[in-house]
């Protein structure tokens, strides 16, 4: 199928077709893949249950689509360029043929260790090629991967390993992040003290830290793969079998294990990759996300590899050895498409411009943004200094739950507007809802964003908790999927995402539930109660502001702040560290005991002039105290 779109009218034509006859639209897209057996029916769905099935009874293996089918035509083309943390080290160019061999080998290793179709495998690896091999090795044999971002703490690992019931984990001795080395094996060992169900730990020798090896449990990756060969027959899977679980923060309680299934996810990530970026054969594409997040799953691994692209995997960070690192990578590999996050753009924009100017960025054709609203200033900086005014910017809006991009300009086709994700991709049917639960039609409207029709890559459930899936996404507006985001449609019908309308905050592009951060802070012995809100932060997008009540008035506030930050880091991971901690004697609560976060949000934003009605508070005087002590 040709995904090149000539002009906006053609986009509209395709879009209209995808809406008037979604089943034949997606059937046509899906024809372009390798199916062991074709589907009987394209779609069955019922958002009240909710139940969604795509490509019913279709049989396939996603790795045959990402690997085998490319061997003839592009076996010697680079599939993955791996750029190491240290720029002095050589990049690795892994061809499709080599990747095929490595994935098969890792698949055979898993089989030898007793992993079977349907088993869940936890992957806790840094951004090294073995991470890509490991994910696809699972998919090859029908196991379900659960990748945990290698910046999460032992506690976060315990929750995820236990929830998914993983018996095998794949990790490394450590990972590099700029000048730092992260002791991944140490964190894993700590987690495994509480995960007795884990039988085997396979360790990649990456930083050569010579970690402690527990006899009978821990194995070296290089030893294990040396015992098996590079051919592994792919398991025949049903389109609706599980491909992976990926955890995302919830507004209450524990992280949610979003479940993605094989057929629809493959079709959608491939289609949206090609369509959004208008990817052309032979282009080099770099998504800077970590594979531990959904962006990496969909748009470093599955989408680009299914499309036969050359995808870059970068181990390092934008700031090391200096702020020119990203631009050096682009020059070095002649990258054509760059896909990154607003938080990175803002941080890079703060560095002196000579870091950009030192490199040749003329290979760039398309720029992408993802993960949070991109502010106009960052958009213009990106456009001017990186795209040199010649590269369309695609502001892609989507979620872990949606599996792939939902709203985005089509590169070079859609007239962009800074800060707008513009229009839905083909097959996506967004609606804006008001607080009364009714759809608001027409232009120049604002409300909450929902999707009224299924798309192939949508999550099917929350692992082990279908009720929570229904309650979280399908109950606010019955019969529709609720995104949790606010949205505006302007006078020309352009969509702009205005941010979360629930208790999730997006810090440096990472979702965090305020409840999750609160309960981590509460674990400090001196802390009695906490309320966390987001506030505007010029690099992170949103920062974390914590209002903390202690059992006794803290004697050394700075020391306690540090301890609280360490506690959060230990429980969730460094991404969740509060930026501001204000000690208070009380919180603004209603008579029924509910914290009025609206007030705290205003105070955190520094806007105390109009706090609205405070008369329903149990003790309105705490508001004055909090206002005075605001940081």
Q: In the complex, which residues of this chain contact ligand WTA (CB under 6 A)? A: 248, 293-295, 370-373, 395-400, 421, 483-485, 497, 500, 506, 511
At 187, which helix (H) or strand (E)?
Answer: helix 184-192
In the bound state with ligand WTA, the residue whose beta carbon lies nearer, of 64 and 485, is 485
Q: What is the 3-state secondary structure (H, E, C) of 258-297?
A: EEEEHHHHHHHHHHHHHHHHCCCCCCEEEECCCCCCHHHH
Q: Could you give the CA distance from residue 251 to residue 505 in angstroms, rounded to a whole number? A: 9
- Nearest distance, CB of residue 303 and ligand WTA, angstroms: 12
- Nearest distance, CB of residue 210 and ligand WTA, angstroms: 35
In the bound state with ligand WTA, the residue whose beta carbon lies nearer, of 59 and 417, is 417
In the bound state with ligand WTA, the residue whose beta carbon lies nearer, of 246 and 364, is 246
In the bound state with ligand WTA, the residue whose beta carbon lies nearer, of 461 and 483, is 483
Is residue 478 packed enough to be buried (19+ CB in 10 Å), middle (13-18) or exposed (0-12)?
exposed
Q: Could you give the CA distance from residue 17 to residue 445 in angstroms, rounded to a whole number? A: 25
In the bound state with ligand WTA, the residue whose beta carbon lies nearer, of 135 and 137, is 135
CA R_g for the chain? 24
- Nearest distance, CB of residue 421 and ligand WTA, angstroms: 5
Q: Could you give the CA distance from residue 282 to residue 262 in angstroms, rounded to a whole number? A: 26
CB 584 within 8 A of CB 626: yes
Q: Could you give the CA distance from residue 425 to residue 433 in angstroms, rounded to a whole number? A: 19
In the bound state with ligand WTA, the residue whose beta carbon lies nearer, of 156 and 295, is 295
- Nearest distance, CB of residue 477 and ligand WTA, angstroms: 16
- Nearest distance, CB of residue 279 and ligand WTA, angstroms: 18
- Nearest distance, CB of residue 402 and ligand WTA, angstroms: 8
- Nearest distance, CB of residue 342 and ligand WTA, angstroms: 8
In the bound state with ligand WTA, the residue whose beta carbon lies nearer, of 95 and 399, is 399
CB 456 within 8 A of CB 54: yes
Residue 55, phi-psi category: left (phi > 0), alpha (psi -120 to 50), beta (remainder) = left
Give the chain's length.
631
- Nearest distance, CB of residue 519 and ligand WTA, angstroms: 20
Contacts of 464 (CB under 8 A, 6+ apart): 163, 257
Q: Could you give the CA distance from residue 375 to residue 519 in angstroms, rounded to a whole number? A: 31
In the bound state with ligand WTA, the residue whose beta carbon lies nearer, of 142 and 342, is 342
Which tokens sit at 102? Answer: 């490595």
CB 402 within 8 A of CB 421: no
């Amino acid at each position: 199928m040709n995904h090149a779109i000539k002009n906006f009218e053609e986009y509209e034509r395709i879009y209209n077709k995808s809406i008037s006859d979604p089943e034949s639209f997606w059937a046509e897209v899906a024809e372009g893949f390798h199916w062991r057996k074709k589907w009987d029916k394209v779609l069955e769905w019922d958002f009240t249950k909710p139940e969604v099935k795509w490509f019913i009874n279709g049989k396939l293996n996603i790795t045959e689509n990402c690997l085998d089918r490319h061997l003839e035509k592009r076996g010697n083309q680079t599939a993955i360029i791996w750029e190491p943390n240290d720029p002095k080290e050589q990049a690795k160019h892994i061809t499709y043929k080599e990747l095929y061999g490595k994935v098969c080998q890792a698949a055979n290793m898993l089989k030898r260790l007793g992993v079977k179709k349907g088993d869940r495998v936890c992957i806790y690896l840094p951004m090294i090629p073995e991470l890509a091999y490991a994910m696809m090795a699972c998919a090859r044999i029908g196991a379900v991967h659960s990748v945990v971002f290698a910046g999460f703490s032992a506690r976060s690992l315990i929750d995820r390993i236990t929830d998914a019931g993983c018996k095998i984990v794949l990790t490394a001795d450590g990972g590099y992040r700029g000048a730092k080395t992260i002791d991944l094996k140490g964190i894993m060992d700590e987690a495994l003290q509480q995960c007795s169900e884990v039988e085997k730990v396979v360790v990649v020798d990456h930083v050569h830290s010579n970690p402690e090896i527990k006899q009978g449990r821990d194995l070296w990756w290089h030893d294990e793969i040396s015992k098996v060969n590079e051919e592994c027959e792919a398991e025949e899977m049903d389109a609706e079998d599980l491909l992976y679980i990926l955890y995302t923060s919830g507004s209450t309680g524990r992280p949610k294990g979003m479940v993605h299934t094989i057929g629809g996810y493959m079709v959608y990530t491939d289609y949206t990759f090609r369509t959004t970026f208008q990817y052309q054969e032979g282009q080099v594409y770099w998504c800077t996300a970590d594979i531990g997040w959904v962006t990496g799953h969909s748009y470093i691994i599955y989408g680009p590899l299914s499309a036969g692209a050359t995808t870059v995997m970068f181990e390092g960070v934008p700031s090391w050895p200096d702020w020119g690192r990203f631009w050096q990578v682009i020059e070095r590999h002649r990258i054509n498409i760059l896909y990154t996050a607003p938080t990175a753009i803002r941080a890079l924009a703060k560095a002196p411009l000579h870091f950009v100017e030192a490199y040749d960025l003329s290979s760039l054709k398309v720029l992408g943004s993802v993960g949070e609203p991109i502010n106009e200033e960052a958009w213009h900086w990106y456009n001017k200094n990186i795209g040199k005014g010649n590269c369309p910017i695609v502001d892609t809006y989507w979620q872990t739950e949606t599996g792939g991009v939902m709203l985005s300009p089509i590169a070079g086709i859609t007239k962009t507007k800074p800060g707008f994700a513009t229009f839905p991709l083909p097959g996506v049917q967004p609606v804006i809802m008001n607080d009364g639960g009714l759809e608001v039609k027409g232009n120049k409207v604002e409300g909450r964003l929902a999707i009224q029709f299924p798309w192939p890559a949508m999550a099917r459930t929350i692992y082990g908790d279908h009720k929570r899936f229904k309650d979280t996404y399908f109950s606010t507006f019955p019969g529709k999927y609720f995104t949790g985001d606010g949205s505006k449609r302007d006078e020309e019908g352009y969509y702009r995402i205005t941010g979360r309308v629930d208790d999730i905050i997006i810090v440096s592009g990472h979702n965090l539930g305020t409840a999750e951060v609160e309960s981590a802070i509460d674990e400090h012995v001196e802390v009695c109660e906490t309320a966390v809100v987001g506030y505007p932060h010029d690099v992170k997008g949103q920062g974390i502001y914590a209002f903390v009540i202690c059992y006794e008035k803290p004697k050394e506030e700075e020391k306690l702040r540090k301890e609280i930050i360490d506690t959060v880091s230990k429980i969730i991971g460094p991404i969740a560290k509060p930026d501001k901690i204000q000690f208070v004697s009380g919180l603004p609560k209603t008579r029924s005991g509910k914290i009025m976060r609206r007030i705290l949000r205003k105070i955190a934003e520094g806007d105390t002039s109009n706090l609205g009605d405070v008369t329903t508070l149990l003790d309105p005087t705490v508001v004055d105290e909090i206002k005075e002590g605001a940081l």
